[in-house]
Structure formats: C-alpha cells, structure tokens
Amino acid sequence: MALDRELFEEFAHEPALLPLLRIFRVNVPAVTVGRLFARHFSRINLPVCVRPTGGGLVRHGNDLIYSVMARRDSFPTFGMTRTSYLSFHEAVQEAFLILGFPTRLFRCDEAKERDQRRRGRRPRVEECFKEPVATDVLLEESKVAGGGQWRRRETFLHQGSIQIPKGMAYDALRDALRSTFERKFAIAWVDEMFSSARSR
C-alpha cells in the first residue's frame, strides 16, 4: 500500500507518464482497509494496512492484488469512477474467461433493488467480499473481484483484489490479467521484482 501511494504521488506530478499497472500478492494472511474506515477495524487479529483508496475490509492471502495509476484523459472510460470501475472489471472478466472461468457482473438494477429493501436501515461498514456492489465480478454468484479508487485532480489510483478460485493458478491469472489490461488500455506493467525492490 505504501508503494502504491509513493508511485501515485510520483505519477500525479508527472503528467507525461503512461498508465501503469502493478500486480502483486502478499505472502502472509493480512487485511487492508480503506482510509475512511480504518478506525472501524481496530480489533482484527491480523496485520492491518490502510489503503489510500476507499472501501471496507479486504482479507488477503489467497488473492491477486492489482493497482492502476492513470490520467483521467488517457482512456475514454477513465474520466469517472463508475465507468473506469466497470471497464476494469470487464477486463477481469476477460482474464477469467481466457482461463476457462465464465463470470458475470453484478448488475446495477440488482444493487438498486437490494439497497431499496434496506432503506431506513443504517449502512454498516462490512468486509468487502461479503456481498457485491454494482459491476463487481461474480463467479457462481460469489463475489471474486472488487476495488476502490482515489482521485486527485487529473489522475487516479485504482486498487483491486481478485479472489483466486480453486483450480486457478496465481501465475496464470497474473499473465492473463496483464495481457488483457495491456491490450485494452495500453497500460505498462510494473513487474513484481521491481515492486519488491522499490518497497525495501
């Protein structure tokens, strides 16, 4: 998370940089929480790291984590959080399909209908993968991909987590995701060795 923040700070001050994709994972069970909700999760019995992006709690250890740094004008859907979130999850869908795992997106009308049923009840800060929000990726009706964003002026940071299903290898998902993002968005990939070296 610290490296994502550092890279985003550099990116925000250098407008000529091309969109950047970083893919990584953690080697011990841990959790991250969005910066606005960190105080709600002070009693977790795992290492807790605060994400610069938003959202609730995400458990890591059996997932692929990716981040994208880009300018709003570098791709047609990047101008707004909603449209960029959708396009990233469509790319995740493509990567899953390449590996033989068909998925679907949680529809906006499904999210609206669920929220209407809850009207009048105070929303709680929850674990992100307990239930989807609009355009999250579902595999067999379980959420497998979600994300959050941090926007500053003309640039943004998107951080996503993809839960790796049984029968799928991390390396295969990493390669499929990388090729899909490069093809769809012309995003340069920062490899894990670079990321690890920068974080030390």
Q: Specify whether the CB–CB gap between 125 and 36 falls below 8 A.
A: no
Q: Which residue has the higher pLDDT, 164 or 30?
A: 164
Q: Grade residue 94 by pLDDT with cuts at 50, 70 and 90.
A: very high
In angstroms, rounded to a whole number, what is the distance separating the alpha carbons of residues 60 and 63?
6
Instruction: Give pLDDT, residue 60.
Output: 93
What is the identity of the amino acid at 122?
R
Q: Specify whether the CB–CB gap between 177 and 124 falls below 8 A.
A: no
- Give the pLDDT mean for 142-147: 96
Instruction: Give pLDDT, residue 68.
Output: 95
Instruction: Give pLDDT, residue 44.
Output: 66
Instruction: Give pLDDT, residue 192.
Output: 54
- Give the pLDDT mean for 74-78: 95
Return the CA Rg of the chain: 16
Q: Which domains does the chain have, with CATH numbers?
A: 2-199 (3.30.930.10)
Residue 142: pLDDT over 70: yes
In angstroms, rounded to a whole number, what is the distance separating the alpha carbons of residues 32 and 147?
12
